[in-house]
Amino acid sequence: MTFSPLTQRRITQFKANRRGYWSLWIFGVLFFVILFAEFLANDKPLLVSYEGKWYAPIFQTYPETHWGGKFQTATNYRDAYVKKLIEAKGWMIFPPIPFYISTVNFNLTEPAPSPPSRDNWLGTDDQGRDVLARLIYGLRISIFFGLILTFFSTIIGVVAGAIQGYFGGRVDLIFQRVIEIWSGLPILYLLIILSSIIEPNFWLLLGIMLLFSWMNLVAVVRAEFFRTRSLDYVRAAEALGVPTWRIMLRHMLPNAMVATLTYMPFILNGSITMLTTLDFLGFGLPPGSASLGELLTQGKNHVQSPWLGLTGFFSLAILLSLLIFIGEAVRDAFDPRKVLSR
Amino acid sequence: MTLLQVNQLSVHFHSPNQAPVEAVDHVSFSLNHGETLALVGESGSGKSVSALSILGLLPYPMASHPSGSILFEGQELLNAPEATLRKVRGHDIGMIFQEPMTALNPLHTLEKQIAEPLLIHKGMTKAQAKGRVIELLHLVGFGDGAKRLDAYPHQLSGGQRQRIMIAMALACEPKLLIADEPTTALDVTIQTGILELISGLQKQFQMGLLLISHDLGMVAKMAKTIAVMREGKVVEKGSTATVLRKPKHPYTKHLIESEPKGHPEPISKSASPIMTINDLYVTFKGQKKSWISRGSSDVRAVEGVSFSLVEGETVGIVGESGSGKSTLAYAVLRLVDSKGQINFSGTELEGLPRWAVRPFRPQMQIIFQDPFSSLNPRLSVGQIVAEGLEIHQKHLSKGDIDKQVRHILQEVGLPADSRNRYPHEFSGGQRQRIAIARALILKPKLLILDEPTSALDRSIQAEIIDLLRDLQKRYKLAYLFISHDLKVVRTMSHRIIVMKEGRIVEEGVAEKLITQPKNSYTKTLMHASFDILFNKTNPNI
């Protein structure tokens, strides 16, 4: 693939920011790994060999009777009785962390929350659930939430900013006033009130947050469109009779994309923080789901069990720092005045 | 002792993954008290870079001096520590920049700007400085400024701003004044005044003057010695009279010969009318004065302008900045709202909505002044040129479009393979050719040229003018040629319209209007444009 000299310069500049470049790698690997959380932390085995046949219980549910047990319900592979049944006629491999987010470890030697041990590498929470497993799933849902929210709020923000910047005048005036009023609404209270009426889930939270988070980008994109509006090549396109949407898309949007891309890591950060806040306050994802905010609440409630609070703090701090470092590198890459050190 | 001695100066610019650019290559010149040396050359010849290295004002991690020395009264300035340079800057060496709008701090008042060097170098108190500022304002011929000490740069005209710049440069009575294209950004009628002021002050204070310019006419008037630069080298050096009268180097000859010349093709008698403009007004809504009062300060940019154009004809519109000539062009193209009649080959365009004007767009096109901003840097040349075809002739296949693009690029004198490259890879003149190709591919009847040559060097100007004249002959194009440069307008136009403050002050057949102007404003304009050249009163020739 060949890049234009401008793109090449940007890539060089991005790589020149070592911290941001490495952060991107670390974040990329981390994200890739936790994408497959089910294979990493699960209470079902990855592979079962039973009577010469192979089974993958992660993908398919088998009743206990299948293995010669008594119950017709789904198998609990962690049960010592089931383990004995299967291992008599074959073998099974568990993921490295043999706990799901809802799995309660009944073999604890100490009352929950129990400190880190060989079984539970980061200890358990107050219901005897493995902290590491919950952390992995919590990170995944946070990052997903952030990415989806960032994606959609960027689209809405860019479109709104572009319309205001291009048409200006009355359109801009009205839009700006609407945004001012809209941004005055207290989003946190709104979410708290809403979640006391209906039980929030992932998509509902996303939708509500989206209603407010798109305003971040409007100012930047609008200013960029204002500026490019009077450039000669935009005027030239107008004189050529190029349709308005095409001028905006082809001649003006690329200019605004620089500002947008620079902003995106920070919006992503904001989204993750927002979800964590809601979970921490207990107004976020439904009870029982794994999340960083819920982990922090546990840490707050059990100060004498520092592994809870510390895990929550460090995972959040590292994730947000990585994203900020990446954001800084992106900003460097798009900075035309940045002088490359040789 | 010589005032300034520059020996074997070289400047390299470094960028990553690329060989360093040699902007200045072993340049030497010297200057005595009270003398004027002119560095002449086209853009990119290294004249400004040479001057900036004297004050150490280059972007230093990226620039370096592999060789050379700059002795100012025997003191080495090249690579001198910042503290030493700071004492010299503004105190012993003053500098006047090209663009007074960007060279003045928009947040500082006139008094603060001029007083700054006095407070720093002379250790004056604020009261003392104020007295000196008023003195300086009188000196630079802006006595009214004494009453407007708290005015900000945007409240002043271009000429006034340039006078402020000169006052700043002269505040500490420097021994050397560097003037980097001091009049290029100004209107012709103001240029003369500024030049007279600079040379008068130079005599008064016995300053050395290092004048940087691309304008041979101006240099001939101002400088005693001249150094012609090209691609970072001094190609010819000597007294102004010898260099201009008997140039030795072919490049100097080329520079002298590239003054615009020639005449437009005569129009055929059967030519049909293309465009008639009748009583056109353009008004920009101003700020309302207050909430209560009803009056608002609307600006009338164009007031009651009428003219017409026939096939193959060029009408030149001249006027100074702010005279409304560019606004007129946009109004004619229906890019800004206007009142009046715009009749384009039989159809009334005024009052039509945007979409209804669109079918006429291919027939009337525009070339902008600055070829660097008029091409989208993110599109390839092929994409830029093809855009008009893609919109107006949707039936064309990709192959057809490509064929036409290649043809039109050859027509404007560019290689066909340039369509795969990006605008930044081309020089100013080539970019202007690309802009012309973009307009011509739609086969327009009317081409509006908004200062198409003023951002280009003289020798390239001549090429573009030749190209435009040639295209006019072949395609019977009608041109509306807007320019402040009368010399260029003269070589292109059949008729000339002179505009001032949005109105037409005089119009007529080109040669007659230039040789026998009637209106007093036209007379000043003609005088300023043509007399500054090689005239009899010039002491240096």
What one-character-per-residue DSSP string does B473-525 give? HHHT-EEEEEES-HHHHHHH-SEEEEEETTEEEEEEEHHHHHHS--SHHHHHH
Substitution target from B18, B62, B376, B434 for chain A, most A beta carbons within 10 A: B376
Q: Higher pLDDT residue, B189 or B395?
A: B395
**What DSSP designation does B266 have?**
P
Contacts (Cβ under 8 Å, ≥6 apart) of B254:
B459
* Residue A276 CB-density burial (10 A; 0-12 exposed, 13-18 middle, 19+ buried): buried
Asked if pLDDT for residue A80 goes beyond 60, the answer is yes
What's the rounded Cα separation, in Å, for the pair B529 and B523? 10
What is the C-alpha to C-alpha distance for residues A310 and A132, in angstroms, rounded to an integer?
12
Q: Please state the φ and ψ torsions of residue B236, each to the nearest 5 degrees.
A: -150, 145
Tell me the DSSP string of B117-132. HIIIII---HHHHHHH
CA distance A40 to A34: 8
Q: How far is A250 from chain B (nearest CA, A)?
A: 9
* CB atoms B391 and A232 under 8 Å: no
Task: Quick: pLDDT tens for A103-150.
Answer: 888 888 888 788 888 888 888 888 888 889 999 999 999 999 999 999
Structural contact between residues A138 and A292, judged by C-beta atoms closer than 8 angstroms: yes
Q: What is the pLDDT of residue B291?
A: 54
Task: Indicate the helix (H) or strand (E) that contains A147.
Answer: helix A131-167
Which residues of chain A are within 8 Å of residue B15 when distances are taken between CB atoms? Answer: 340
Asked whether the CA dihedral B331, B333, B339, B343 is positive or negative, the reply is: positive
Diameter over CA atoms, chain A? 82
Whether residue A113 has a cis bond before it, omega within 30° of 0: yes
* Highest-confidence segment of A21-25, B311-315, B452-456: A21-25
Q: Are strands B273-284 and B233-239 parallel, antiparallel or unpaired?
A: unpaired
Does B537 or A225 have the greater pLDDT score?
Answer: A225
Distance between alpha carbon B169 and the CA centroid of its chain, in Å?
Answer: 22
Model pLDDT for residues B309-363, shown as the tens digit of each residue: 888 899 999 888 778 888 898 888 888 888 888 888 888 888 888 888 888 888 9
Find how far residue B27's CA is from the centre of its chain. 26
> CA distances (Å), A302 to each of A126, A130, A197, A298, B154, in order?
8, 15, 29, 6, 64
**Which residue is listed with tokens 């396109």?**
A237
Using a CB-CB cut-off of 8 Å, the residues of chain A touching B16 are: 12, 340, 342
Check pLDDT > 60 for residue B287: no
Going by C-beta distance under 8 Å and a sequence separation of 6 or more, which residues neighbour residue B369? A232, B450, B451, B452, B454, B455
Is the C-alpha dihedral spanning A152, A158, A161, A167 positive or negative? negative
Task: Examine the pLDDT at B286 and tell me if it is beyond 70.
Answer: no
Best probe of the B interface among A15, A233, A238, by most B CBs < 10 A, is: A233
Mean pLDDT over each residue of chain B, to the nearest integer = 85
Does the beta-carbon distance from A239 to B391 stay under 8 Å? no
pLDDT of res. A336: 66
Residues 409-428 of B with CB under 8 A from A: 422, 424
Is the distance from CB of B201 to CB of B194 less than 8 angstroms?
no
Tell me the C-alpha distance between B173 and A324, whole Å: 52
pLDDT band at B232 (very low <50, low <70, confident <90, very high): confident
Q: Which of B509, B506, B508, B533 is nearest to B522 (CA)?
A: B506
Say which residue the tokens 């296949």 belong to.
Answer: B397
Q: What is the pLDDT of residues B479-517, one digit of tens each?
A: 999 988 888 888 889 999 999 888 899 988 888 888 888
Q: Indicate yes or no: CB of A4 within 8 angstroms of CB of B422.
A: yes
Structure confidence at residue B272 as a pLDDT band (50, 70, 90): confident
Distances, alpha carbon B433 to alpha carbons A139, A241, B261, B413, B471, in Å: 56, 20, 20, 7, 12
Confidence of residue B293 (pLDDT cuts 50, 70, 90): low
CB contact under 8 A, A242 and B442: no
Most confidently predicted of A22-26, B97-101, B304-308: A22-26
CA triple A254-A255-A259, angle to 5 deg:
105
